[in-house]
């Protein structure tokens, strides 16, 4: 398919020119594995929801396959915890895939466990870089895994693929030099660390709260702990076992225990900008937030709710001010304000200045600049 080959070459040229692909051996793997083999001919969609069909609109399908954008390949995997219409599997954007694989610092001879086979493209890239016998990929969804296996055959790659819950890793193939997760985790599974050699790396999207994710690269230590920096923001679908239940906004008729007015700058905006939102979410435990239209009025209100549903807060436009309402045993808005002020006092650090330590007993601590710097225990 000459049109596909031309697009493929242009994509990899763009990734190398931008610096996203700096590792020569990794770039060669990208050139050896066409992405369109891993995009379903029918039933996929762009990130904006536009359907893709290789028979009805082949050029458009190829354009999407070689764009630096994600492609949704599954919606609604049957999990009752997820609202209908939510994507549950995708072929990640090539630039993001390159970024994660570059972060893994792959070397000849490495053995890799991939958690989340998805479409199989990432597993194929790993196999092309390291050798098929050096890669194990685990996928929990049987339908997704079946599609990945068929795509791997089309691409001529034969990494080991296993249907299993990736949270448990894959002890039969351990130890690994690298564990790479293509799903987000709030709690780094102990199995991933135990199954990685001392000095090996666990690379994963980590999130304190759904929607505020970062790329983490953790080095495994001899005492069973792991630590390392965050390498900037990115978003991935959560590990199945760690999917949070849908967060319900407090009903409009809910009566607050406390009401007060705020004057000055928009207090909601910092929670809609990633750098400041990340600093807050790392410091405030067990909560969710969202935005919704103001009932019967203009503008939008911010709502917050604790993970146990016992506490909530609303921040609602009120003329030139903002009305804060909160109820329950926790004063959630006060906690958010305190965290935001702490972030400002620290100089407004970007997410790249933070990192994570997972202790041998499983405790998680987010830190600033160094593991011994200011930190926030996670629960």
Task: Indicate the helix (H) or strand (E) that contains 303.
Answer: strand 300-306
Looking at residues 142-161, what average pLDDT do you find? 97
Report the mean per-residue pLDDT for the chain.
Answer: 92
Sheet holding 364-368, edge to edge: 160-163, 135-139, 112-115, 176-181, 196-207, 213-220, 226-233, 354-358, 364-368, 375-378
Tokens of 211: 């929607």
Least confident segment among 62-71, 111-120, 243-252, 320-329:
243-252
Strand partners, 324: 260, 315
Q: Round to whole Å and give the CA distance between 306 and 248.
A: 10
Task: Indicate the helix (H) or strand (E) that contains 366.
Answer: strand 364-368
Interacting residues of 338 by C-beta distance below 8 A, sequence separation 6+: none
| Residue labelled with tokens 């980590």 | 206
Per-residue pLDDT of 282-322, as tens digits, reads 999 889 998 887 766 667 889 999 988 899 999 999 888 99
Q: Round to whole Å and give the CA distance between 330 and 268.
A: 19
pLDDT score at 291: 86
Q: Round to whole Å and give the CA distance between 325 and 261.
A: 9
Q: What is the largest CA-CA distance in the chain?
A: 66
Q: Round to whole Å and give the CA distance between 335 and 201.
A: 34
Tokens of 193: 């660390």
Tokens of 142: 């049987």
- Give the residue numbers marked as catalytic: 92
Per-residue pLDDT of 14-59, as tens digits, reads 999 999 999 999 999 999 999 999 999 999 999 888 999 999 999 9
Please tell me which residue, 127 or 235, carries the higher pLDDT value: 127
Q: Round to whole Å and give the CA distance between 214 and 207.
A: 6
The number of angstroms, rounded, from the C-alpha of 374 to the middle of its chain's C-alpha atoms is 24
Looking at residues 274-280, what average pLDDT do you find? 92
Q: Round to whole Å and give the CA distance between 105 and 267.
A: 40
Please tell me which residue, 169 or 241, carries the higher pLDDT value: 169
Q: Round to whole Å and give the CA distance between 4 and 27.
A: 18
Query: What's the pLDDT band for 211 if we cut at 50, 70, 90?
Result: low
Q: Contact 80/88 with Cβ under 8 angstroms?
A: no
Query: What's the pLDDT band for 84 if we cut at 50, 70, 90?
Result: low
Q: Round to whole Å and give the CA distance between 228 and 204.
A: 11
Q: Round to whole Å and give the CA distance between 335 and 350.
A: 20
The number of angstroms, rounded, from the C-alpha of 349 to the middle of its chain's C-alpha atoms is 20
Whether a cis peptide bond, with omega within 30° of 0, leads into 175 is: yes
Please tell me which residue, 247 or 130, carries the higher pLDDT value: 130
Listed in order, strand segments (DSSP E) in 117-212 are 135-139, 160-163, 176-181, 196-207
Q: Round to whole Å and give the CA distance between 357 and 218.
A: 8
pLDDT score at 247: 75
Delineate the domains of the chain, giving CATH numbers in brackets: 2-242 (3.40.50.150), 258-345 (3.30.160)
Q: pTM score, two decimals?
A: 0.93
The alpha helices in the chain, defined as continuous H runs, are 2-18, 24-32, 58-65, 94-103, 121-130, 142-155, 190-194, 274-283, 332-345
Interacting residues of 369 by C-beta distance below 8 A, sequence separation 6+: 349, 353
| Residue labelled with tokens 């705020």 | 262
Q: Round to whole Å and give the CA distance between 207 and 213.
A: 4
Query: How many CB atoms are closer than 10 A to CB 344?
Result: 13
Pairing of strands 364-368, 51-53: unpaired
Tokens of 336: 């958010």
For residue 210, pLDDT beyond 80: no
For residue 241, pLDDT beyond 70: yes
């Amino acid at each position: 398919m000459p049109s596909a080959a031309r697009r493929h070459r242009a994509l990899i040229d763009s990734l190398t020119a931008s610096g996203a692909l700096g590792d020569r051996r990794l770039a060669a793997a990208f050139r050896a594995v066409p992405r369109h083999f891993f995009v379903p001919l029918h039933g996929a969609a762009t990130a904006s929801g536009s359907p893709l069909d290789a028979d009805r609109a082949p050029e458009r399908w190829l354009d999407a396959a070689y764009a630096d954008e994600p492609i949704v390949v599954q919606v609604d995997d049957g999990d009752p915890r997820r609202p209908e219409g939510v994507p549950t599997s995708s072929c990640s954007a090539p630039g993001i895939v390159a970024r994660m694989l570059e972060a893994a610092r792959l070397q000849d001879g490495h053995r890799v466990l991939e958690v989340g086979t998805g479409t199989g493209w990432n597993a194929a890239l790993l196999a092309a870089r390291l050798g098929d016998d050096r890669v194990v990929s685990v996928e929990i969804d049987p339908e997704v895994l079946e599609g990945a296996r068929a795509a791997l055959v089309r691409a001529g790659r034969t990494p080991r693929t296993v249907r299993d819950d990736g949270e448990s890793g894959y002890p039969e193939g351990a130890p690994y030099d690298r564990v790479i997760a293509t799903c987000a985790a709030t709690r780094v599974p102990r199995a991933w660390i135990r199954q990685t050699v001392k000095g090996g790396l666990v690379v994963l999207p980590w999130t304190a709260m759904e929607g505020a994710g970062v790329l983490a690269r953790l080095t495994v230590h001899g005492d069973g702990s792991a630590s390392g920096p965050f390498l900037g923001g990115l978003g991935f679908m959560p590990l199945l076992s760690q999917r949070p239940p849908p967060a319900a906004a407090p009903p409009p008729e809910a009566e607050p225990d406390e009401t007060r007015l705020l004057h000055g700058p928009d207090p909601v905006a910092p929670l809609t900008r990633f750098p400041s939102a990340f600093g807050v979410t790392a410091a405030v435990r067990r909560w969710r937030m969202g935005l919704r239209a103001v009932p019967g009025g203009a503008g939008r209100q911010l709502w917050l709710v604790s993970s146990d549903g016992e506490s909530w807060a609303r921040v609602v436009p009120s003329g030139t001010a903002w009305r804060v309402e909160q109820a329950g045993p926790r004063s959630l808005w006060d906690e958010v304000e305190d965290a935001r002020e702490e972030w400002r006092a620290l100089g407004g650090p970007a997410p790249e200045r933070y990192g994570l330590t997972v202790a041998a007993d499983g405790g998680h601590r987010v830190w600033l600049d160094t593991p011994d710097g200011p930190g926030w225990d996670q629960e």
